[in-house]
Amino acid sequence: MSDILSVFVINLARSGDRYEHMQAQLAATGLAFQKIDAIDGRSLSARDRQRYRSQDRENRNDAGLTASEIGCFLSHRLAWETFYASGAPCALVLEDDVHLDRTLPSLLKDISRLSDLYDLVRVGGARRRIFVPLAGLSGGHRLVYLLGGPSSAYAYVISRTGAHKLLDNSEYISDQVDVFMDHYWKTKLRVLAVQPYPVTAHVSFAGASTIGDGRYEGDRAARQAETALNSGLRRARRIQRSSMKYIWGVRILVESVRLRAILFFRRRRQAPAGE
């Protein structure tokens, strides 16, 4: 499958146990992979820090990103750059704290054949979302359109057009990488998902990630300190964002009908004569 789909594992040099964990899992599935040396939040370069637009978050009265969150985003961006330079049509990007279902290799074959239909396919996520089913996949899984971002960025398949859009929109950053990926109405990503997810957070590492440490506690503290004016601006932005999400949601429903038709006729063409 390596000539069709590349596999990248993002791993911090100081997290050797996690790397060994991923090595063993991927060896068991028969998937070759390339390690992406994660950017450590403890040792961000001046250039790394310049990419963070803290003023954008202050304007929204959101808590600032932690160094770990900045490093996490830039590590994913490095994976997108590496994949895009490789020339492969699509890639699986994994963080190092996940469990891989045994059905993953066959699912990746299914997904790789459809790379012209998506920018991003979420194969793992922290939240359950309402979805529109599109097609059946291997192992009883389904390809779906999610009506809302699933949060978490620990497992996804990305196409070349998806990598291009993500890179174009992330020269400077002001959100956590999973939040950025969930805001598909900003990046214009065509986002699909696999249900149920074939990649899940590994129980041994659950709660041990430094990604997002203190995110919600910091945001709550920022809300308590905001002025009446800032509170009003926040509500206005929320209404604007909800409107954008609604418009994009209608587009998703229309697009799902189109994709279902495309997949139906592809299956008809591929079916043996006489069926």
pLDDT tens-digit readout, 108-143: 999 998 888 899 999 999 877 778 888 899 999 999
The residue-averaged pLDDT of 235-241 equals 59
d(CA 1, CA 3): 6
Do the domain assignments include residue 275?
no
Report yes or no on 54 lying in a domain.
Answer: yes
Residue 121 is predicted with a pLDDT of 96
pLDDT at 225: 53
Residue 83 resides in a domain = yes
- The pLDDT score that the predictor gives to residue 113 is 87
CA-CA distance, 80 to 78, in Å (whole number)? Answer: 5
CB 96 within 8 A of CB 21: yes
Q: In whole angstroms, what is the distance from residue 26 CA to residue 122 CA?
A: 18
The alpha carbon dihedral of 214, 198, 85, 188 has a sign of negative
Indicate whether 243 belongs to any domain: yes
Average pLDDT on 59-71 reads: 90
User: Could you tell me which residue, 246 or 178, shows the higher pLDDT?
Assistant: 178
- Say yes or no to pLDDT of 227 above 90: no
Total structural domains in the chain?
1
User: Does the pLDDT value for residue 224 go beyond 90?
Assistant: no
Residue 223 has pLDDT above 50, yes or no: no
The answer, yes or no, to whether residue 210 has pLDDT greater than 50, is no
- Tokens coding 176: 């956590």
Higher pLDDT, 261 or 68: 68
- Residue 99's φ and ψ, nearest 5 degrees, are -110, 130
Query: 69: domain CATH number?
Result: 3.90.550.10
User: Is 253 among the domain residues?
Assistant: yes
Q: Is 95 within the bounds of a domain?
A: yes
Is the pLDDT score of 56 beyond 70? Answer: yes
pLDDT score of 266: 78
Tell me if 47 is assigned to some domain. Answer: yes
For residue 6, the model assigns a pLDDT of 95
User: Does 229 fall in a domain?
Assistant: yes
The whole domain housing 197 covers: 5-270
Percent of the chain surpassing pLDDT 70: 79
Least confident of 70-84, 92-106, 148-162, 210-224: 210-224
Share of the chain above pLDDT 90, in %: 56
Q: What angle in degrees, to the nearest 10, is found between the helix axes of 160-168 and 67-86? A: 140
N residues, the chain? 275
The mean-pLDDT minimum among 27-36, 47-56, 110-119 falls in 110-119
pLDDT of residue 58: 85
0.85 exceeded by pTM:
no
Query: Measured in whole angstroms, how far is the alpha carbon of residue 128 from the centre of its chain?
Result: 15
